[in-house]
Chains A and B, each alone.
Chain A
Amino acid sequence: MNKSRQRFQAVVRKEVILLLRDRSTLVMMLVIPIIELFLLAYSAVFTIEHIPMAIFDQSQDQGSRELINAYTNSQFFDVAMTVSGNKEVVAAIDEGKVKAGLIIPSKLSEKIARGEGSVSFMLDGSDLFTLQSSFAAANVIAQQYSLQLLVKDIQNNEMVLPADPTEMSITTSVQTLYNPNREDLKFIIPGVVAIILQMFAIIGVATTIVRERELGGAEQLLATPIRPLENILGKIVPYIVLCLFELLLVHFFGHFWFGVEFKGSFWLYLLLSFIFIFSSLGIGMLISTLASNQNQIQQIAALILLFSFLLSGLVFSRMPMPEWAKFIGGLLPMTYFLPIVRGIMIKGVGISNIALWKNVGVLFGFCAILLCTLPLLSRKRLD
């Protein structure tokens, strides 16, 4: 046992030296998560307001002014320019100067009085994000304004309304649980942590193992009394330490710079992320047995990165995906880690939550399978 520990420590020492020697990789790995955190924190907006709008107002009367006010008061739209022609509205959208356009016909007030007011509203369909927030809003704003007009009309005819017509009889209050202001950062920080840790663990370990094989170090190791398990565990340990350091780094900035609170137990989270790192390292080792050189690892890594971005639930919801896509996503450890980190950090769920343990169970499965198969795989390789 003592000998085993010595051999294990020797491997760890060797890996640490290798890691420290590769300065650029080390710096890159520590800098990328921070850059990504800052970039996303400042660039990602999921709710869009103040959409620039062009207006072609042929009426210039009270009716048109009120309608324009209804649009701008909603905060969804800002009047960015006033134009004088239908074509100019479309041209402004074509050129990307505005994202929406409102065309008001002449004599709107009179037309409204006759009950035949009609305006047309245009939205830029090439910008999906802007559109998702604005399309429904544009419709409702117009409907509400129309209703107000109707009510005014009725009151002008001196009829008595049953309830106060300016107030809706049904109000819908929407409450976003856990993240009441839907702060984008609360989505971003767990995501950054999950993807960085996974990619770093996978690429790091796979590259180390393959490089050793490429340089012929693996054969030299054969001549030593070291066992495959000791060798592999020794390779893993420095990466676990680095991964944990990265994790703390991102959360440090998240907490102290961006002031995002961590709701659940940080210790529980740390423990579970340990399991996550372990299962990602396992995937890395599995890849190293499949790839024959570093170039191939980079290509496999690019593929994994792609799947992680698209299918793990990091950005796009897994809910509407077809089964095969869910299956591919299910092969990635971060698919299970994301709900865990979001659960603990945003929802504040603890150990009593069943959904949490389901995901943890799968991660344990990853660790177990890989721990069982990898010593076998690496031994086979050496024969």
Chain B
Amino acid sequence: MLERILAVIKKERTAIIRDKPTMVMSLLLPLIQIVLFGFAISMNVRHIPTAVVDLSMDIASRAYLDSLVNSEYFDIRETLLSQLDAKKAIDENRVQAAVIIPSDFTEKIDRGDGNVLIMVDGADPFVSLSAYNNANIVGQEHAISVLKETISRVPGVSELVTEDPLEAQTKILYNPDLTDLWFVIPGLIAMILQVQAIALVAVSVVREREIGTMEQVLVTPITALELLIGKMIPNLFLLLANLALILFVGVIYFKVPFKGNLAEFIVMALIYILASVGLGLLVSTVSKNQKQAFQYNIMLTLISLSVSGFAFPRSQMPVVLNWIGYLFPMTYFLPMVRGVMNKGIGIGLLWPMACMLVIYVVVIIFLTSKMFRKQLD
């Protein structure tokens, strides 16, 4: 049995090495993604181009604008004269937010009804999210500091107000500076491994069926399971190379911390790769040609990216989508890779997920060899 598996592995290895473009591409894609996320993309949008309509031009309005600018979320690009101009500037995409300060701002604050209007471009999801949240919060913080100042001006209070009665220290665990990449790299590892696993396996299995050599192999005494295992192993190495590449670039070049235990992580990643390769085998048994396998891969990727917790938190999802998420190895692996890299936790806490993945591997290989055999009949 071992002999036959080894023979398949040898053959598969030759096929992989011979197909240069596929190999280059499978190593290039992850690299491009890391570079893009590392240099080009930021999820926390700052310096939003902002227009200002300041109808007061007094100390209070300037203080308000200062606090907006100091937050680094808003950059004042244009000074306009009316709310209509501001709306037009947003319509024409010159700015993505506008601050409108009413006239007599100082007096209005003294009367307690200073009201600032901030308009935000709602057409761009990340910008509008960032602008909306931060406009509210910067505004509130400013209001609090103004109120504090007003209170402390009351005679006799200043001795009383030396300190805040309550201080809250907000601490961000694992990723204190909110670096995008710390969050993205673990996700990328999970995503790339699954996508590549399906693609590579599909190429090796479906191509064989396309060229017609699959039938030839079946005449030999090899069993379906042996064939599948033989096809899995060389691809496993290619995927491990992928993983090493991402980790190397991410950790060495982009300095994303790897807090957990590397050896433990590699074992977990290996189980995950096996599970993904299993999914790839399942895909290739149901697809007639490479094109179809490719389409299935796109579809599975789209679905898994939305439901696995890759970007959107699973806790906020409807139950059905949450359940669909369990069909993908990525769903189990994401907490593992984030846990190990960001949190530095180990198998002690992650074993339930690891167990699920092991079960996943067993079930999917069983399913695939069943389907495979059925197809042959």
A residues bordering B, Cβ < 8 Å?
Answer: 24-25, 28, 32, 35-36, 39-40, 42-48, 52, 67, 90, 93-96, 112-113, 115-133, 135-140, 142-147, 149-151, 153-154, 157, 159-165, 167-180, 182, 184, 186-187, 207, 294-296, 298-299, 302-303, 305-306, 310-311, 313, 315-317, 319-322, 324-325, 339, 342-343, 346-347, 349, 353-355
Q: Cα distance A21–B325 when bound, in Å?
A: 33
Number of interchain pairs (Cβ within 8 Å): 373
- State whether B168 touches A142 (Cβ < 8 A): yes
Tell me which residues across on chain B come within 8 A of A324, comparing CB atoms: 40
Q: Cα distance A150–B147 when bound, in Å?
A: 11
Q: Cα distance A176–B136 when bound, in Å?
A: 12
Q: Cα distance A377–B87 when bound, in Å?
A: 47
With A121-B169, A140-B144 given, can you name 19 additional A-B contacts, CB distance below 8 Å?
A39-B307, A46-B125, A46-B129, A117-B167, A122-B173, A129-B312, A135-B172, A143-B140, A161-B151, A162-B153, A168-B147, A169-B143, A169-B146, A170-B116, A173-B115, A177-B119, A178-B122, A315-B125, A316-B41
Name 16 A/B residue pairs within 8 A (Cβ), A-sorted.
A46-B129, A112-B166, A125-B175, A126-B342, A147-B144, A165-B147, A169-B150, A171-B116, A172-B115, A172-B117, A172-B138, A173-B118, A179-B122, A180-B122, A295-B21, A311-B40
Q: Which B residue sits closest to A43, measured CB to CB?
A: B306
Tell me which residues across on chain A come within 8 A of B37, comparing CB atoms: 310
Q: Cα distance A155–B45 when bound, in Å?
A: 42
Decide yes or no whether B137 CB sits under 8 A from chain A: yes
- Stretch of B5-13, B235-243, B271-279, B287-295 on the interface side: B287-295
Select one of B150, B166, B318 contacting A117, CB under 8 A.
B166
> Given known contacts A175-B119, A178-B123, A346-B122, is B166 in contact with A125 (CB within 8 Å)?
no
Tell me which residues across on chain B come within 8 A of A311, comparing CB atoms: 36, 40-41
Q: Cα distance A139–B43 when bound, in Å?
A: 21
Q: Cα distance A132–B179 when bound, in Å?
A: 11
Chain A CB within 10 A, most for which of B33, B125, B167, B298: B125
- State whether A302 touches B132 (Cβ < 8 A): no
Tell me which residues across on chain A come within 8 A of B345, comparing CB atoms: 94-95
Q: Cα distance A351–B52 when bound, in Å?
A: 27
Q: Cα distance A150–B43 when bound, in Å?
A: 37
- State whether A313 touches B124 (Cβ < 8 A): yes
Decide yes or no whether B165 CB sits under 8 A from chain A: yes
- State whether A140 touches B342 (Cβ < 8 A): no
- State whether B141 touches A125 (Cβ < 8 A): no
Select one of A120, A144, A154, A179 contacting B157, CB under 8 A.
A154
Decide yes or no whether B103 CB sits under 8 A from chain A: no
Q: Cα distance A132–B311 when bound, in Å?
A: 13
Decide yes or no whether B284 CB sits under 8 A from chain A: no
Q: Cα distance A310–B39 when bound, in Å?
A: 12
- State whether A163 touches B112 (Cβ < 8 A): yes
Tell me which residues across on chain B come within 8 A of A150, comparing CB atoms: 148, 151, 161, 164-165
- State whether B321 touches A42 (Cβ < 8 A): yes
Q: Cα distance A123–B172 when bound, in Å?
A: 5
The distance from the CB of A320 to the nearest CB of chain B, in whole angstroms, is 5
- State whether B91 touches A322 (Cβ < 8 A): no
- State whether A36 touches B302 (Cβ < 8 A): yes
- State whether B178 touches A125 (Cβ < 8 A): yes
Tell me which residues across on chain A come within 8 A of B46, comparing CB atoms: 320
Select one of A115, A145, A343 contacting B163, CB under 8 A.
A115
Tell me which residues across on chain A come within 8 A of B120, comparing CB atoms: 174-177
Chain A CB within 10 A, most for which of B146, B312, B318, B335: B312
Tell me which residues across on chain A come within 8 A of B112, comparing CB atoms: 163-164, 167, 169
Interface residues of B in 56-97 (CB under 8 A from A): 64, 87, 90-93, 96
Tell me which residues across on chain A come within 8 A of B96, comparing CB atoms: 319
> Given known contacts A120-B168, A172-B135, is B43 in contact with A298 (CB within 8 Å)?
no
Q: Cα distance A34–B340 when bound, in Å?
A: 36
Tell me which residues across on chain B come within 8 A of A339, comparing CB atoms: 93, 123
> Given known contacts A25-B291, A126-B183, A302-B25, is B93 in contact with A42 (CB within 8 Å)?
no
> Given known contacts A48-B316, A184-B125, is B119 in contact with A147 (CB within 8 Å)?
no
Tell me which residues across on chain A come within 8 A of B140, comparing CB atoms: 140, 143-144, 168, 172
> 4 shortest A-B CB distances, which residue pairs?
A172-B139, A125-B175, A179-B122, A142-B168
Decide yes or no whether B362 CB sits under 8 A from chain A: no
Select one of A28, A32, A117 contacting B165, CB under 8 A.
A117
- State whether A319 touches B125 (Cβ < 8 A): no
> Given known contacts A45-B313, A147-B148, A163-B112, is B165 in contact with A125 (CB within 8 Å)?
no
- State whether B313 touches A48 (Cβ < 8 A): yes
- State whether B173 touches A93 (Cβ < 8 A): yes
> Given known contacts A36-B302, A94-B343, A177-B121, is B166 in contact with A142 (CB within 8 Å)?
yes
